[in-house]
Amino acid sequence: MTDTLHNVSVRTQANVYFDGKCVSHTLTLADGSRKSVGVILPGTLLFTTGAPEIMEGVAGSCEVKLAGEQSWKRYGAGESFSVPGDSSFEIRTTEPYHYICHFG
């Protein structure tokens, strides 16, 4: 599990989605790659993707249903799930879920 990211630039303005139920900050690494770190508060949200994403859990847990799937899968801290580009996923939490989103 990633606990520290080194040599990054942080966009100070937060990305706020779904009336504050998801808040993140965009990071740019020295190699130009982009990530975001954030928290999703309890609820059920639908996200769409442009680029492929890997969602890495840092704290808390969630359940995820990828586009086209029928069942929910549970993920906790130290676990990750992948989402294809140009797709979507539903995520539901009953506790704050802290994550790192790895793009591309």
In this prediction the pTM is 0.93
pLDDT means over runs of 10, the chain (104 residues): 87 97 97 96 97 97 97 98 97 98 93
Question: Alpha-carbon torsion 11, 45, 20, 75, what sign?
Answer: negative
Closest CA to 37 of 11, 19, 63: 11
What pLDDT score was predicted for residue 19? 97
What pLDDT score was predicted for residue 1? 79
Report yes or no: 86 and 50 within 8 Å, Cβ to Cβ.
yes
What pLDDT score was predicted for residue 57? 98
What pLDDT score was predicted for residue 102? 96
Q: What angle do CA 40, 46, 50 make, to 5 degrees?
A: 100
What pLDDT score was predicted for residue 87? 97
What pLDDT score was predicted for residue 104? 84
Report yes or no: 74 and 21 within 8 Å, Cβ to Cβ.
no
What pLDDT score was predicted for residue 31? 93
What pLDDT score was predicted for residue 4? 86
What pLDDT score was predicted for residue 42? 98
For 4, list phi and psi in degrees, rounded to 5: -145, 135
What pLDDT score was predicted for residue 3? 80
